[in-house]
Structure 1
């Protein structure tokens, strides 16, 4: 079944993976070229490379992947001559019909050969497939593909109308699959083709519910049991990777660090304003020296509450413009230390000019030794996370699958039939 060699040789069938939704089969014939919007490729350049290789175009502006054919890839890449069965339906049918290595399977309605390729892989070299196609052109095309893919020894393809002429095998098939417009007309013929010495199974592929109802009635009349109907729907998901999002602990730690930086800047501004003579960071002017009597300056204690808030807000905005980091009027208390501003009012009653820098302005209250600084816990975060969403274009209803079983006759029934034949 297709080539099992590691490297590609002339005459091999390969699957060209262009995009996820664009696959194309190709027979390697040296001397020819494959042209697409992804570039131009000589067949001779593909000979000798391993299956699965990524091949760049001659212009260097595109590439393709050259894959080994499988039934799954063939279903996605084959030329459609009729409506085909896709992987979800094929896997479901194969499981319910109990198709395995060595099984004898009958198929009515070869079509494009999608189901045929999957069945021939499941039955292996010890099994066999009898396939029937009413349309002569499609039958000849399918026969040619089976020969090219090395499957001619596992399949017997016949151009035949099974609804009128029946099947060419009797009491042989372990499983039977009908992909016909009117499967109820072939039920009696299918019963003859199925084995009678063990449980045999049948499946009918019907797009419309009216077809299902008529098929179920025909199965009941023919003596089939365990009749069930299923509809297979596929919901594919698109999986993508994205950088991991920050955790709540990370955000909390960043906020605390930002508050600490803002508090340190505020304290520096307060100390700079009380020392006097320091340059303003915005306009380069020096603050006037302050006397104890209050002459020549406006004491901070004499300012109203509103003016103090305006001054602090302006200083914060200027600091934010210089540093590029946000500052705000509201500040949170830090956990590391508390700062108390102490102003000695007795200095204002003494005569003379006494710089405010001589007054102890800031009293730093350290936390007790038993209280340790909380540190950010070291959390191991993944570099990327996987996100999934339903793909926008989803293939919906294809057909209804009707299953039934044919039980072997009881010994009394066999005896009665034998006596009737003898008479």
Structure 2
């Protein structure tokens, strides 16, 4: 099992996502003899999981059922153990696009945190790219490295436990892109530039406060970065509903609408005077979800 390569069958040691519903999922490590308790009953790993196909519908001991899904970065973001605040797919999608990541890209990241963005980067740059990720907190760095190995992507990533603002990323002139998610990103801009290739590349900084953005933009300009821009990603979910719309009254000159009698037991009924049609529409929420943060992008020119 690997987060960057799909496997057909579930094996012992794999990570699987138990899907009970859109708002209810859980990750489990498959082990022979182990059991997982759900509200629908017990899942027995030896008989219900090992050897089954990912995506299978599994019946629990109480008669209810769940789906067993192959892990993806998106599913892991929704199920990972939170060691820090994390980035979600709305921001992650924009980051991977705006940093122009692709298979074979070399990326530097700080900080690693809970590894939400890291897994998405690894899936994007596989199979020949590499991620150099730096985490200031020792226990978080060790746990992230353990998860990467367990998820079959350890060969694609190097985890370092150090202060990126003082020690940099541990590499020079190799990165196509750099991502910063730290309290004072302006202190690491010089190290980001040093880590990037001479041919140039892209950098992104995530900050929750506009004051942090201002200082980071100033530092980017001082270090010679160009095309500096900041965006905020807000998610608006529309509710789909069915509405009834009245048909217009065309007056007495319009030919009458004759409805057929499906029973054949009498004359056809008169056409309704107030006909209507049903259609689907959407309504936007009156309140938007809260602000998460600003994404600041810039380009290092060639040379």
Instruction: Kindly indicate whether residue 50 of structure 2 is the aligned counterpart of residue 47 of structure 1.
Output: yes
CA positional deviation for 1:237: 3.0
Selected match of 1:75 from 50, 54, 77: 77
Bigger Cα displacement from structure 2, 385-394 vs 226-235: 385-394
Cα deviations by residue, 1:387-415 (Å, 9 ceiling, x for unpaired): 54446886432110011111123xxxxxx
Structure 2 matches for 1:19-418, cutoff 5 A?
Answer: 19-44=21-46, 45-60=48-63, 62-196=64-198, 198-239=199-240, 248=247, 386-390=280-284, 395-409=289-303
Instruction: Kindly indicate whether residue 9 of structure 2 is the aligned counterpart of residue 7 of structure 1.
Output: yes
Cα deviations by residue, 1:169-193 (Å, 9 ceiling, x for unpaired): 1111110000101101111111111
Q: Could you tell me whether the CA contact under 8 Å between 2:258 and 2:270 is conserved in 1? A: no
CA distance in 1, matches of 2:247, 2:8: 52
- Higher alpha-carbon Rg: 1
Cα distance, 1:76–1:238 mapped onto 2, change above 3 Å: farther
CA distance in 2, matches of 1:171, 1:246: 63
CA distance in 1, matches of 2:225, 2:28: 44
CA distance in 2, matches of 1:82, 1:14: 23
CA distance in 2, matches of 1:155, 1:385: 51
Cα deviations by residue, 1:190-240 (Å, 9 ceiling, x for unpaired): 1111111x2311100001111111111111111111110000001123446
Cα deviations by residue, 1:279-329 (Å, 9 ceiling, x for unpaired): xxxxxxxxxxxxxxxxxxxxxxxxxxxxxxxxxxxxxxxxxxxxxxxxxxx
Cα distance, 1:76–1:393 mapped onto 2, change above 3 Å: farther
CA distance in 2, matches of 1:217, 1:245: 55
Q: When you count helix as a share of all residues, which structure comes out higher?
A: 1
Cα distance, 1:136–1:224 mapped onto 2, change above 3 Å: same
Cα distance, 1:116–1:99 mapped onto 2, change above 3 Å: same
Q: When you count strand as a share of all residues, which structure comes out higher?
A: 2
Q: CA RMSD in A?
A: 3.0
CA distance in 1, matches of 2:169, 2:22: 40
Equivalent residue pairs, number: 285
Q: Could you tell me whether the CA contact under 8 Å between 1:234 and 1:396 is conserved in 2? A: no
TM-score, with length taken from structure 2? 0.85
Q: Secondary structure at the match of 1:153?
A: helix
CA positional deviation for 1:247: 7.4
Gaps of 5+ in 2: 249-255, 272-276
CA distance in 2, matches of 1:388, 1:68: 32
CA distance in 2, matches of 1:402, 1:127: 24
Cα distance, 1:47–1:389 mapped onto 2, change above 3 Å: farther
Q: Could you tell me whether the CA contact under 8 Å between 2:16 and 2:71 is conserved in 1? A: yes
Q: Could you tell me whether the CA contact under 8 Å between 1:23 and 1:77 is conserved in 2? A: yes
TM-score, with length taken from structure 1? 0.62
Cα distance, 1:117–1:256 mapped onto 2, change above 3 Å: closer
Gaps of 5+ in 1: 258-263, 265-335, 337-372, 377-381, 410-423
